[in-house]
A and B are shown apart, each in its own frame.
Chain A
Amino acid sequence: MSAPAVRIEGLSKHYGHVVALEGLDLDIEPGLVLGYLGPNGAGKTTTIRLLLGLIRPTAGRAAIFGRDAWHEPVAAHRRVAYVTSDVGLWPALTGGEVLDLLGHSHGSFDAAFRDELLRAFDLDPTRRVRTYSTGNRQKVLLVAALMTRADLLVLDEPTRGLDPLVDQVFRNYVRQARDRGQTVLLSSHELSEVEALCDEVAIVRAGRLVERRTLTELRHLSALAIEASFAGPAPDVSAVPGVRALSTEGSTLRCQVDGPLAPLLRALVDAGVTRLTSREPSLEELFLAHYDDPTTPAP
């Protein structure tokens, strides 16, 4: 049986008394696209820096395809490409030189695919990094990571600074990567991006993993969003079992409902509902629900 693309066991990172990550367990199977979500300071970037062996774990371990991230970084990194948005590139080098450097440092890259990526992202590699816009610098990093066709793509806020057109190009290439069997760990605040690309979602809060499910599972476990219109004033359904987040605006009622729908439907029909829509919650609503819910475990 092959090793998981990523195996994280009891991983913790403390900075003195500050706990950045505590007892994280996470496996990512090969070929999976995992969205890694959490608010600022939750521990997402700390997890990624631990996974890349840039910082040393206080406890636990992280491995990439069976290679320990801290003790065997060179072997582990042969199968990884990394993108982040908050560290600088060498300002005096051209974009092409950065691609040369990172490609050769990785050990191998697909030159024809690199050229295709340059065209697709509309990036001029002859310009120096210091003359690039923020978005163009980000394009350099995306091309550098994708052209290696690495088995694991670790993407930390990869589309920050990109315009919507380039964002679509990026999504297409991530889907291609998944189709080729590459594994993707995508940390992002762009929930629409995660929703569009990821097979599963892991949510981290205050340094601990609080949820790990497929989007379908998350939706099944979550409330349904209901919007109903009436000929007269909207009724009060707050006493109906399972109803929460209730709001009314004139003759329109909005709420969420957990569990069986029948009691609410009966109440709405009795009140003379004229129009009814229901939909599954968006990832953003699911994410916010996790952070609004006082019963969600937190350290």
Chain B
Amino acid sequence: MATVSLDNIKKRFGPTEVIQGVSLDVADGEFIVIVGPSGCGKSTLLRMVAGLETITEGELRIGDRRANDLEPMDRDIAMVFQNYALYPHMSVAQNMGYGLKIAGLPKAEIATKVADAAKLLQLTELLDRKPRQLSGGQRQRVAMGRAIVRAPSVFLFDEPLSNLDAKLRVQMRLEIRELQAKLGITSLYVTHDQVEAMTMADRMIVMNAGRAEQIGTPLDVYERPATLFAAQFIGSPSMNVLEVEGRDGALWLGDMRLPNPTGHIGPVMLGLRPEHLTPDPEGAIVMQVLLAEPLGANTLLHGKLATGQGFTASLPGVHALSHGGETLRLSISPANMHLFDTATGARLG
């Protein structure tokens, strides 16, 4: 078990800087999720922690050791890959015991440790099978098993669930989280799925274009997104963003008058989460509803505002739409209004 600390980590491939200085302190036993769209550098960041990519600049510490120049095997980490990376010619037991065998442990001890891990992951029946005889979920478990057996200080997960079907993904998500909590091993988990990030993370890093947009607890990121990008990336359906203008103590969107929680003057980006909108006959937001998606527990209403911008509202329960094109008046509490700088996207207030 160990802490991990990244101090202004940078990665350059030639002239392009793919990681532009990420700093993060991971506490012992913490579960950190690195989330972002594809190409944001999240996997590169993880691979630098693993030692599979060199660190161009900055310092990485695992435990109390500087790890920049350590070989992957000397970093006391274990990694679960997106395609599981199981050794196809070895049985499940051999796959799980490979690291221990390399470390030179006696056979009996390897067998015990593998058996223990297999029991924990319900793999005992499968120990003699080859990877190709396993289902996707089972392979995923074997990859986890291989990581657990070595009792590393840090777990690294590189989109481990993205090859599984939706139902299995939800199940494995819980299993991984439970297992990590039970073993108390510091973990870094990369995903592009914001639901995984929200549900699994102790803290998450929202990454975009090689930068950490925000580091915080899931609720923190949801309730107080630090940037426009983080605001739009986290939350489903994603946040409505409107360009409004602050004047006369209010925010104006065309001739719609909204409260101005920060008193900002001039043009500003306003973010409104669809689920924070409430129907209100007096509401300032007038939306023309074009399409309804009933999800059972709530209904997504897609449409546009008088200014022509697309707009989505999520209302609890079932909202039957008699026909397209009806207008709906909505309001929102000032506490749920997020303002961002037009130029930098940084949060205001």
A binds B: no
A interface with B by C-beta (< 8 Å): none
B interface with A by C-beta (< 8 Å): none
